[in-house]
Structure formats: structure tokens, C-alpha cells
Amino acid sequence: MPFLGQDWRSPGQSWGKTADGWTRFLDEKSGGFVGDISSFCKKDDHNKENLFNTINYDVAAKKRKKDLLNNKAKTQYFHQEKWIYVHKGSTKERHGYCTLGEAFNRLDFSSAILDSRRFNYVVRLLELIAKSQLTSLSGIAQKNYMNILEKVVQKVLEDQQNIRLIRELLQTLYTSLCTLVQRVGKSVLVGNINMWVHRMESILHWQQQLNNIQITRPAFKGTTFTDLPLCLQLNIMQRLSDGRDLVSLGQVAPDLQVLSEDRLLWKKLCQYHFTDRQIRKRLILSDKGQLDWKKMYFKLIRCYPRKEQYGDTLQLCRHCHILSWKGTDHPCTANNPETCSTSLSPQEFINLFRF
């Protein structure tokens, strides 16, 4: 008895409705599958084995094609909301309703990466999720994560900015996936293993594209950075918040190399990122008996997290528990909504969904 579903007829075969019911016909375009099977039953074992291999090969090829289509399928952004309501605590009735994956899907991160004030915030959030929270996302959220990551990479390839930041993100994600794929038997990842292998191949391809970027020097014959007075050069260097940028800048010219070794410059950098107590625990003296602030900085960043600053962040209203981007109006019932909002760092955003 055939399966009485929505359409129980076998795919790839021709059927016609007659007075006696549905009748199967042989279709030359379909390759005469029924005739092939009938003739196969009369052949020897050698041909039988060949036919089995052919059928298995076709099934495997169709499966690979299906997996590839699933990999290339993009998640539609059904939600592009400027704010969402965050439940405090989790009950049996609403368990799993407000999760990290749901917030990642509903908030408009795809447009946030186009805003230079929010770009670094989103990249840092992607990095934290890649380190420890990837398995907590739903299947749609994981696909959404990869789609947003692809948009980030394409933006960097076009603008040729924040290259090192994205390299570190991709390396962190690839390392995490290598660990998770080895444990796929424990159902730590959602989806087919071939899909994750394809995503890892995409990450390697993106890394290669970033490595092949060659920044062309603009044809500008006016005033350059080295033409500025030394006080202005030092003033600009003090605006850099990453010591690696200072090192890279010092490699441009011999004069900049001397300025990049300025002790006061590295001292202010250490005092900006770390507390006095942290600095006192990691004191390093130079050969001249003075504090080596440059070595202390790189030692401190290996021991403590650096201070993070973002132009725009997500914020949580303590009065109505609504999560939104900074500067976004939300239906708050407080008399002064601005005083109720608290800016969230990327780590605090993730901790918000840990019950």
C-alpha cells in the first residue's frame, strides 16, 4: 500500500490518472528507470554491482549538491528591529524565549556593521561568540552569524581598513571550529558536518583574501605626516590606543622609529588601559634602571584585558528592560529615559542572556 501523504507518487517517474486509479508510465526522458531495473534483474552479478555503484554514486552526488545549496543559502533577515524586550530570569513558560541567538537574530547587526561607530563593537561581539558562545546559538542564528561575518569581511576588503582586527576574528573562529568539529559526534554543532567543513573552507578563503590585500600609496605630493612638527606628531601618536599601531608606525621611517620609543608615550598608554595596581604588579626595569613602559605594556596585555572604548554601543534600559542601540528611541514609560539607560560592553551583552 503506498504512503498516503500529500503526494505519494515516486519522484522522477511519470504517472497518469485513469478510471482504475493512478498508473505509472515509462518516460523516455526519465531514463526508463523501471525498464533498467527489470533488465538489471536478468543480468549477471558483475553488472549488478556496477549498477549498485552507479546508484550509490548518483545518491552521493545529489547529497553533495544539496549540501552545497544549503551552504550557499542565505538567511533572510526577517527581524531588523532597533530594540527588543529582555526578560529578567527564565520561567518554564518562557524558557528559551529570550536567548542570545534570538537577540542576535532580531537586532539589526547587518546594518550596524555599516556604521563606523558600531563596527568595532559588532566585531568584538562576533569574536566573543566565536570563543565560547557559538554552540549556544540556534541553527538560524549560527547561519546568521556566518552571513554577518561575510558582510564584515567584504566591507574590510572594499575599505581596506581594520584588516588586523578581522584577521584575529577569523583566526579565533577557525580555531574554535577545529575544536568543535572534532566533537561533532556529541552534537555540539547544529547542522551537517559537510556544512561546517564548507564554512571552514570559506574562512580560509577569506584569510587568504585579507593576506593578499596590497594597500596602494596615494599619489599625494602635499604635506605628509613626517612634515608636521614633532609636537603634532607626538600628539597624533597619543591618540592611538593599540601599542601594535605604534610599533607599525615606527617602522615607516627612521624619524618615526625614534618617536615611537618615547617613554612618556608608552606610559600614557599603560595608564589608559590598566589600573595602578595592575601596573605595580608588572614593573620592569630597563638597563638604565628606569621603568621600561613599552615592555610593561606588552606584558600587561598578556595578563589583563585592555580597556575597550566604542563610539556607539548597545544599551539596556533599567526601567523597562529594553535593549537597543545607543541613541535609539524606545517606548519607555520613565520620566527621563536617558538616565535609565546603561551602556553594555560586548561581554556584558553576552552575560545578559546567562540565567
Return the amino acid letter for 124: R
Q: Are 16 and 22 in contact (CB under 8 A)?
A: yes
Mind listing the pLDDT tens digit for each residue in 98-109?
A: 788 888 888 888
Q: What is the pLDDT, as a whole number, of residue 44?
A: 45
Identify whether the C-beta of residue 169 lies closer than 8 Å to the C-beta of residue 128.
no
- So what's the pLDDT on residue 34? 40
Q: Kindly state the DSSP code that residue 53 receives in the 8-state scheme.
A: H
Extract the C-alpha cell encoding 41.
534483474
207-253 confidence digits (pLDDT tens): 999 999 887 776 767 788 888 888 898 888 988 888 988 998 888 88
In the block, residue with C-alpha cell 501523504: 5
Q: pLDDT band for position 77 (50/70/90)?
A: very low
| Residue 64, pLDDT above cutoff 80 | no
**Cα angle for residues 122, 84, 191 (degrees, 5° grid):** 60
| Per-residue pLDDT at 154 exceeds 50 | yes
Q: Could you report the per-residue pLDDT of 282-316, keeping only the tens digit for each?
A: 898 888 888 999 999 999 999 988 888 888 888 88
Q: Is 78 exposed, middle or buried (0-12, 13-18, 19+ CB in 10 A)?
A: exposed
